[in-house]
Amino acid sequence: MASFQTVPNKVAFGLTYVRYTEHDTWGEILAFFTLAPILIHTGLFGALLARREMCTAMLLVGLTLNEVISLVLKKLIQEPRPETCEFLEACGSFGMPSSHAQYVIFLATNVTLAAIRHKYRKVQPPFLHTPFAVNRFDNVQLLLLLLVWPLACMVIESRMYLGYHNADQVVKGSLAGLFFGSLWFNLEARLQAFYPAFQATKFCRTFFLKDSSHIPNAFAYEYASCLKAQSQREAATKKAE
């Protein structure tokens, strides 16, 4: 007599598991956009490793805490997802508020407020009368703003179109992202006064964590410093010969 082994139920990894209607091109495009928060978080972590900037670290911490708050709100509110969750195999989790909407609006709010702060920040010595006093990246900041808000709208649309959330859930998630994003930006702005002291700690010296927010044009400053160091090295080499 044949014996049958019990096969355990298999579940999908919900963080990257997205379903859409077959042959639906728009749905396939939106399925990619719905993964944007994961790609953004990964990209910011890469930027932190490459640049070691405190502002990037603070943004990552804020986005992570924002996600935790969203999960807590879902547990407290316990509003189910739309009926389409059965097709999506997503009925095992709650839908209010939309974590995706809260995430992208939190990010867009911080990017917008940071651009405004940078534009109107007064230049302080020793950069007052130097080439680095002029911010040459206004166009880049404008491009970033023109990208982040449409991206946020696409992510929100994807959550509704694909059936993971209804309109009320994404609206409430967006409002939560706007509120917590503004709150976090103001908190980070207050903490900037302590950055110099923190930058002097052993932790920051070990991992080269720095704050370049006081430099109006950090890219130009780094470029000029690199050229200066290269010239000094070439001069020292010629002198040694």
Query: Where do the domains of the chain lie?
Result: 25-240
Q: Write down the pLDDT at residue 94.
A: 83
Q: What average pLDDT values come out for the chain (241 residues) when binned by 10 residues?
A: 57 70 89 93 93 92 96 92 80 87 96 83 52 56 88 95 91 96 94 90 91 74 79 78 68
Q: Write down the pLDDT at residue 231.
A: 82
CA distances from 177 to 64, 89, 136, 214 (A): 12, 26, 30, 27
CA distances from 66 to 98, 99, 180, 241 (A): 12, 9, 7, 59
Amino acid at 148: V
Q: Write down the pLDDT at residue 140.
A: 72
